[in-house]
Structure 1
Amino acid sequence: MAADPFEHGWQLDQEASAITFLSIKKDTVAETSQFAAMSGQITERGVAQLVIALDSVDTQIDLRNVRMRFLFFETFSFPEATVTAVLDPLSLQDLPSRRRKVINLPVTLSLHGAEVELESEVAVTLVSNDRITISTLNPVILQLEDFNLMAGRDKLQEAANVTITPLGIVNLNLAFDRRAPGTPVLAVPATSGASAALETAGDFSREACIGRFDILSRSRSVNFAPGTSRLDQTSTSFLDSLFDIVSRCPDLLIEIGGHTDNKGSAAANTRLSQKRANSVVRYLSNKGIARARLQSVGYGEASPLVPNDTAQNRAKNRRIAFKVLN
């Protein structure tokens, strides 16, 4: 039996590990989801790191997964969440004899551009000399506002027409295997991007395409320099995700619609919205989508989602929308 609980370090066994989170809608309806792709390690010094591929969110419903990715987590800009912690060797030095210990573990969670310090009570169990498990004893409560996720919650509420409690309830059950002697300590590999998404490989059905374009339209993630049709750099990752979806709907004609608020003249708004729609079409065609499959339309201020009576509502009306035409 090794006396050092961190000897040679540990590697996460993804297949035997689970990260689940509970969300609450309509005040009383609880839904449990999980992430299918993650990687992690504990070094010989007890430094633990876990990388979660947010694209792998699994709600058991395809389009709900897509809503979570594009509207809530905005994985095109924030593909991963990371958890880091330092396990105190003194608190675990008797683990070989006790087999299971409960400790308070300070952790740092990086999610959606925010970094928050948390503390969780976890059970560390030495299953064998070469395998340990680490599990939360109590759910970890995450406040969405701490991670800049309130806007994402609002988009989910609009898309699903439900109220969503602004917190997440997270549980972790992780299994690690001891590395073989001499195995180098490497950075935790990233397991993210569209390849981690839980969806059928290849082309989408017409229904799946229509659902995805509706969700992408709600994301309001195509941005332009103020008053111009010049795409902002922040739009690139979203447009690349859009390209992937359009590519997997190969037989469909797609409308790219530009919309504005009612500030300025109606004629000027129509011209600007047309130019902005043209910019998106140009981006997609430059990446390889046949120009004949893309139709751009400038609607100007004619089709607002909501009344143009507040700055927040006007922001919702300034958008690029996508829909299937044939």
Structure 2
Amino acid sequence: MFVRVLLLVSGLWAGLAHAGLTLDGSRSSLHLVSTKNAAIAEVHHFTALNGSLSAQGDVRVDIQAESLVTHIDIRDQRMKEHLLEVAKFPVLSITAKVDMVAVNALAAGEQIQFEQTIAVTLHGAEKSYQLPLRVTRLADGAIQATTIAPLVVNLADFQLLAGVDQLKALAKLNSIATQIPVVASFTFKDSKPR
């Protein structure tokens, strides 16, 4: 009897250890705000996000730089070519290690808030941030992680100032802010087929 129970627990543990969640791109978003000429703020977003949350708490979200939408075609093209340099850096990514004990303890509708260390890789450079997050277990069992406050990204940390200067010249602008507020909401769903 003991052996059967031990085998059952071992099998369960093996299943949990290999279980993982996949980013649901249709329920996830990443928005940023740019400011030009010190007074005009505009919201942009990315449409192609994918990623995973492992049973061990390893999070990775990849954002396709080509999917940036600014709602002005020529600006989309210029930002992708001169700022993000998508031909050289097609993907920007966010990685983190989360406490899965706390996440797995959430019942549907429950949420927790905590400070999370994340690493952002953009334009060939990486920087770590402390970010306040709200994590919620949704009714369908999915996990949603949302920023509580905007993350302010300094473009200088990612060697993007030369690209900003090019954009200013092309658009004949007096200024483009180099501190960019970013907000995100990522939903991870069961990756096992039903």
TM-score (norm 1): 0.52
Deviation at 1:119, TM superposition (A): 1.3
Q: 1:281-316 CA distances to partner (integer Å, 9 max, x unpaired)?
A: xxxxxxxxxxxxxxxxxxxxxxxxxxxxxxxxxxxx
Inter-partner Cα distance in structure 2 for 1:44 and 1:172:
22
The answer to whether residue 71 in structure 2 is matched with residue 73 in structure 1 is: no
Specify which structure has the bigger relative contact order, considering alpha-carbon pairs within 8 angstroms and separated by 6 or more residues.
Answer: 2
User: Secondary structure at 1:128's aligned position in 2?
Assistant: coil
Q: What residue is the counterpart of 2:137 in the other structure?
A: 126
Instruction: Tell me how many residue pairs correspond in the alignment.
Output: 178
Residue 61 of structure 2: aligned partner: 50
Matched, 1:63 2:74: yes
Larger Rg: 1
Q: Which residue of 1 aligns with 2:98?
A: 87
Structure-to-structure mapping, 1:17-56, within 5 angstroms: 17-56=28-67
User: Map of 1:1-326 to 2, 5 A cutoff?
Assistant: 8-96=19-107, 99-128=110-139, 130-162=141-173, 163-180=175-192
- Runs of 4+ more than 6 Å apart: none
Query: Which has the larger share of helix?
Result: 1
Q: Aligned partners of 2:46, 2:17: CA distance in 1, in Å?
A: 26
Deviation of residue 129 (structure 1)? 5.2
Alpha-carbon offset, residue 97 of structure 1: 7.1
| Aligned partner letter, 2:156 | E
CA distance in 1, matches of 2:108, 2:61: 27
1:249-308 Cα deviation digits (max 9, x unpaired): xxxxxxxxxxxxxxxxxxxxxxxxxxxxxxxxxxxxxxxxxxxxxxxxxxxxxxxxxxxx
Unaligned runs of 5+ in 2: 1-15
- The residue that corresponds to 2:8 in the other structure is none
Alpha carbons of 1:97 and 1:14: their partners in 2 closer, same or farther (altered >3 Å)? closer
- What displacement does 1:89 show? 2.4
Corresponding residue SS for 2:83:
helix
Contact 1:107–1:120 (CA under 8 A) maintained in structure 2: yes
Unpaired runs of at least 5, structure 1: 184-326
Offset, 1:92:
2.9
Q: CA deviation at 1:91?
A: 3.5
Query: 1:75, 1:143 → 2: CA distance?
Result: 19
Q: What value does the CA root-mean-square deviation take over the aligned residues?
A: 2.0
Per-residue deviation, 1:180: 1.9
